[in-house]
């Protein structure tokens, strides 16, 4: 049986987090972990709803110490919560809010006493211990569970840290994230990468540009900003002066090349994207301003069978079919051409929603935009794409002219709808049902 440490720091006085303006040392963190672990209810499963990233991390570690399993669903709607309770009847909700409307037995995060209560050694966790169950939402809307074990999680995160130059031997970095820790991207790239690689996470979870800048200013350099294209575009458009950042990391959707160049110029630092999914975790990275190719982590491989891509090896315990259209290249690299479900065929011409959205969002003056494939053909039996766009300084003729330069006319949006904002969630993703409702509302308002 292999046992791996809970933290990758080598000394109890090293900083593992920045929380409410204070440096949290490993010794302080372990005090908080054991204090919370001693108080957790008896249920085997917990829904960690702590909004503060540091408290989420303490909750995660306390659950690990007690042998409990954290449930991490993609949403927290009433229906999802009912499904969580059906999946694990003993589940309780750990939260740090004054009040919580989650319909589960609740336990509020309790701060540890100010004075140290014990001299704790770094816990060693069995590599085969089940840490979390993460959920994706299938086509039926029923969350699909995926089990995450300590050993493969550690392997995945250390591979990411090595690729990004954030190993334990590197100078300690401050990690600021705009994505919630309950999301797989935030879980690995803001929580575990700091915990396991000797760095310090920021407890803040900023969303608006001014809050992101404030969170960066509240931690020492060198800083890593872990974000999404939506948050990064908002930050760039706000034209705020941000402190020095050593690395910008983006995921959840491909960045347009103009945005990637603009961000690197703004921060004067490399911007890297990571690729993965709930099932596999992070498996590849690229620097979009330098190459379109993604590079897999060591030990991982992709195979293609009749156009279907499968990931295996490394921290991926069993072959997992990917829902993306992938083209293999040399030296363990690949190109990404969009999601399988997003491939479209109109009048015998093929494209992908990812490509169309990329073109739309690359138009100067477009701050956000998305194409939409209707459920049914129009009255004349022709499929007509729609699109919503946030572009206050542009008109429809300008956008359509720019689109025509890069896409076939059959893919031009009919209608093209101007909106104030797209209904993106906290990770910057755009749920199709939310986009559909927005379009229906907009069309209903037209004369």
Q: Are strands 174-177 and 200-202 parallel, antiparallel or unpaired?
A: parallel
In 3D space, the residue among 298, 212, 294, 286 whose CA is nearest the CA of residue 250 turns out to be: 286
Contact assessment for residue 4 and residue 150, using Cβ atoms and an 8 Å cutoff: yes
- CA distances to 58, 212, 289, 369 from 237, rounded to whole Å, are 35, 13, 19, 15
| Per-residue pLDDT at 115 | 60
Q: Which of 263, 291, 319 delimits the end of a domain?
A: 291
The string of DSSP letters for 229-257 reads HHHHHHHHHHT--PPP-SEEEE-SSPPPH
What would the pLDDT profile of 338-395 be if each residue is shown by its tens digit? Answer: 776 666 767 556 677 878 888 899 899 999 999 988 765 444 445 689 999 999 999 9
Model confidence pLDDT, tens digit, residues 20-56: 999 999 999 999 999 999 999 999 999 999 999 999 9
The three-point CA angle 363-229-358 to 5° equals 35
Cα 166 to Cα 112, 147, 202, 247, 425: the distances in Å are: 30, 26, 16, 10, 28
CB 425 within 8 A of CB 431: yes
Tell me if 362 is assigned to some domain. Answer: yes
* Domain closes at, from 291, 306, 334: 291
DSSP-derived 3-state class of residue 293? coil
Sequence-separated (6 or more) residues with CB below 8 Å from residue 349 = 408, 410, 411
**Cβ pair 133, 71 in contact under 8 A:** yes
111 with 201, same domain: the answer is yes
**Strand pairing category for 247-250 and 3-5:** unpaired
List C-alpha distances in Å: 393 to 23, 67, 171, 357.
44, 55, 44, 19
Range of the domain at 208: 3-291
Q: What pLDDT is stored for residue 388 in this prediction?
A: 94
Give the mean pLDDT of 296-319: 92
- Residue 210 in tokens: 């001014």
Does residue 37 sit within a domain?
yes
For the stretch 155-174, pLDDT in tens is 999 999 999 999 988 899 99
Do 243 and 283 meet the contact criterion of CB atoms below 8 Å apart? no
Residues 287, 355: one domain?
no
Q: Could you tell me if 294 and 280 are in contact, meaning their C-beta atoms sit under 8 angstroms apart?
A: no
Short-list 335, 395, 399, CA closest to 371 = 399
Which of helix, strand or coil describes residue 336? strand
Say if 186 falls within a structural domain: yes
Together in a domain, 9 and 143: yes
What pLDDT was estimated at residue 1?
74
155 and 42 in one domain? yes
More confident residue, 143 or 392: 392
Residue 432 lies in a domain: yes
* Dihedral of alpha carbons 162, 168, 174, 179, sign: positive
CB-CB contact of 221 with 244 (8 Å): yes
Comparing CA positions, the residue from 259, 217, 264, 252 lying closest to residue 237 is 259
Instruction: Based on the fold, state whether residues 362 and 262 are members of the same structural domain.
Output: no
Q: Are residues 103 and 171 in the same domain?
A: yes
Q: Which of 268, 291, 314 is the last residue of a domain?
A: 291
Residues 124 and 221 in one domain: yes
pLDDT in tens, 49-87: 999 999 999 999 999 999 999 999 877 878 888 889 999
Taking residues 261-271, report their average pLDDT.
95
Cα–Cα distance between 291 and 146 in angstroms, integer?
A: 32
Average pLDDT rounded to a whole number, residues 389-411: 90
| CATH number of the domain to which 182 belongs | 3.40.50.12780
Q: Which of 399, 386, 362 is nearest to 438 (CA)?
A: 386
Same domain flag for 230 and 366: no
How many residues comprise the chain?
A: 447
pTM for the full predicted model: 0.82
Whether 393 and 284 share a structural domain: no
Look at the chain and report how many structural domains it folds into.
Answer: 2
The pLDDT assigned to 348 comes to: 57
Specify if 338 maps to a domain: no
Task: Count the neighbouring beta carbons within 10 Å of the beta carbon of residue 420.
Answer: 6
The one-character DSSP state at 330 is: S
Residues 120 and 241 in one domain: yes
391 and 281 fall within a common domain: no
- State the pLDDT at residue 142: 64
* Judgement on whether residues 197 and 76 belong to the same structural domain of the protein: yes
Per-residue confidence band for 139, with pLDDT thresholds at 50, 70 and 90? very low
């Amino acid at each position: 049986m292999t046992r791996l440490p809970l933290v990758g720091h080598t000394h109890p006085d090293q900083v593992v987090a920045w929380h409410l303006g204070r440096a949290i040392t490993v010794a302080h963190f372990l005090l908080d972990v054991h204090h919370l672990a001693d108080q957790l209810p008896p249920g085997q499963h917990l829904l960690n709803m702590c909004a503060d990233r540091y408290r989420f991390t303490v909750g995660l570690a306390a659950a690990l110490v007690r042998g409990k399993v954290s449930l991490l669903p993609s949403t927290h709607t009433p229906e999802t919560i009912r499904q969580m309770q059906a999946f694990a009847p003993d589940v309780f909700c750990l939260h740090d809010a004054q009040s919580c409307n989650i319909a589960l037995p609740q336990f509020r995060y309790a701060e540890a006493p100010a004075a140290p209560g014990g001299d704790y050694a770094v816990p060693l966790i069995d590599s085969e211990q089940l840490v979390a169950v993460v959920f994706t939402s299938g086509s039926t809307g029923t969350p699909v569970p995926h089990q995450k074990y300590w050993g493969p999680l550690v392997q995945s995160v250390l591979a990411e840290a090595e690729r990004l130059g954030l190993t334990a031997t590197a100078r300690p970095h401050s990690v600021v994230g705009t994505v919630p820790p309950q999301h797989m991207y935030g879980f690995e790239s803001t929580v575990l990468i700091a915990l396991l690689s000797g760095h310090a996470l920021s407890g803040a979870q900023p969303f608006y540009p001014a809050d992101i800048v404030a969170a960066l200013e509240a931690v020492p350099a060198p800083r890593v900003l872990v974000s999404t294209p939506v948050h990064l575009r908002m930050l760039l458009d706000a034209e705020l002066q941000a402190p020095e950042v050593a690395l910008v990391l983006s995921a959840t959707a491909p960045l347009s090349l103009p945005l990637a160049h603009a961000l690197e110029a703004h921060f004067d630092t490399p911007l890297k994207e990571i690729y993965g999914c709930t099932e596999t975790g992070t498996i590849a990275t690229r620097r979009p301003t330098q190459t379109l190719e993604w590079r897999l982590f060591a030990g991982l491989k992709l195979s293609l069978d009749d156009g279907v891509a499968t990931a295996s090896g490394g921290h991926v315990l069993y072959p997992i079919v990917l829902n993306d259209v992938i083209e293999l290249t040399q030296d363990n690299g690949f190109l990404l051409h969009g999601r399988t479900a997003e491939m479209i065929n109109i009048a015998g011409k093929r494209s992908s929603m990812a490509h169309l959205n990329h073109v739309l969002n690359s138009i100067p003056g477009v701050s956000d935009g998305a194409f939409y494939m209707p459920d049914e053909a129009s009255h004349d039996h022709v499929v007509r794409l729609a699109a919503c766009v946030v572009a206050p300084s542009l008109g429809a003729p300008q956008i359509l002219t720019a689109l025509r330069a890069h896409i076939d006319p059959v893919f031009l949006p009919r209608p093209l709808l101007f909106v104030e904002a797209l209904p993106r969630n906290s990770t910057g993703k755009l749920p199709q049902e939310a986009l559909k409702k927005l379009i229906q509302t907009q069309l209903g308002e037209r004369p």
